[in-house]
Amino acid sequence: MSDEYSVAVDIGTTKVCTIITRKRADHRVEVLGFGLAPCTGMDKGMVVDSVAVTDSVQNSIEMAASDAEITVSSVHIGLTGSHIESINRWSNVPRLAGMRSITDSDLLAAKKAAGAIDLGDDRRLLHVIPRSYALDGLHGVRNPIGMHTGELHVESHVITGSISKINELKKSVDKAGVKVSSLVVEPLASADAVLTADEREQGAVLVDVGGGTSDIAVYQNGTVVHTAVIPVGGYQFSNDLAIAFSLDFDSAEQLKIQHGTAAPELAGMQEEITLNPQSMDQQIKVTKREIGQVLKERASELFRMILLKLDQPHLTDIPIDRIVFTGGGAKLEGFMNIAKFIFQRKVRIATPRGLDGISHEINDPAYSAAAGIALWGIRNLQQESRMVYPKSSKTSQEKVESTRSLNRTLSRIRNWLPKREKEPTGV
């Protein structure tokens, strides 16, 4: 006997995360394996060093496969970057003349019609997500199966990406010895992992602040209405510190993690930190408030960029009063304080949900995209695109060594991922 598995790989600017899941008989999704490896081959969601990406992907997958005791041959991967674009469009669904009942074949035809758009030479269709249907002029129908109509139209959210950028990422993964089974745009994946049913229905903005990008997905009436990617993430916060205080990037990253805050007004003026600038022969001392001022300016700029992405005609009449943040970059101390002030809406920071067997280490905003890719692979892809793997044989000693290796890696990663800020209450 063999079990059905889904292997999700999130390839980010700072890390590659692999999560292996299994769908149980009760339809719950269970986590069986987890792998994490630092990554230096990506920049703002795009490949800049194929060899480095391949090594990180291979290390991450091997760790997760060892943890789950399976052999991995194909994976689902996430996509992000400024090359991702989306539109909403109405399409006429071709049908036979006359009043007829709507069937599953009509819905397939609707999806095909929605995806029949003119693409540029370097554009690829990634997702076609039906939002609602119109039956003989009756709008707002979500599930028209069994209803009768003469004319059928569909409103869809259509997402495309750059063929060249996608192929560069796929080639890097292929060289790691696995096949790319499917591609998932990460704003959708992250939303799948963190948004509640009420938030999807009533209206919410999901913002996943990653290492090099911030992914945005807007939901209303149970479906996505807008997606966007901003080329700013946690990397830029650290880089600002490196420039401001003449530090190498690694030192700036550690400074952000250990002493960083996006709310300098809450930091004590007298709390001093000793730094070793690259351009000086002697140490200098700066206050936590000075560090926080640099980070606050970057956070404020990111929030203004988010507001610009939300200033779209098709979002004007959508009542959105909640913003849900996730991703490692959102864990910066004071991040939520300034978000509340600038957006003047309800805000919260979210961790992955909908996965059984998730450990305390993985239940972290930094892994929401990976968890969402896993959930997307299980819930939204056709049966034939899922993977079935034979269980591997492993000795008890090998299992012990695998666990020790995972714990060592998690310990190292903990040192360079920002600590999670306490989730605000009453919002």
Note the pLDDT of residue 196: 95
Note the pLDDT of residue 282: 82
**352 to each of 254, 356, 366, 368, how far by Cα in Å?**
25, 11, 9, 5
| % of the chain exceeding 90 in pLDDT | 72
Could you tell me the domains of the chain? 85-160 (3.30.1490.110)
Torsion from C-alpha of 307, 308, 310, 311, nearest 10 degrees: 120
Average pLDDT over residues 268-286: 82
**242 and 260 Cβ atoms separated by less than 8 Å:** no
Note the pLDDT of residue 24: 86
Residue 395 has pLDDT above 50, yes or no: no
Residue 394 has pLDDT above 70, yes or no: no
pLDDT digits (tens, 9 = 90+) for 287-316: 999 999 999 999 999 999 999 999 999 898
Average pLDDT over residues 264-293: 84
Residue 393 has pLDDT above 80, yes or no: no
**90 to each of 47, 128, 188, how far by Cα in Å?**
34, 12, 21
Residue 361 has pLDDT above 90, yes or no: no
Average pLDDT over residues 145-167: 96
**53 and 30 Cβ atoms separated by less than 8 Å:** no
Note the pLDDT of residue 422: 43
Residue 425 has pLDDT above 90, yes or no: no
Residue 240 has pLDDT above 60, yes or no: yes
Separation CA 82–CA 366 (nearest Å): 20
Which of 2-6, 35-39, 359-363 is least confident? 2-6
Which of 60-74, 193-207, 263-277 is least confident? 263-277
Average pLDDT over residues 16-29: 90
Residue 420's pLDDT band (boundaries 50, 70, 90)? Answer: very low
Residue 52's pLDDT band (boundaries 50, 70, 90)? Answer: very high
Residue 421's pLDDT band (boundaries 50, 70, 90)? Answer: very low
Which of 94-103, 266-275, 321-330, 344-353 is least confident? 266-275
Separation CA 216–CA 302 (nearest Å): 12
Mean pLDDT value across the chain: 87
- In terms of residues, how long is the chain? 427
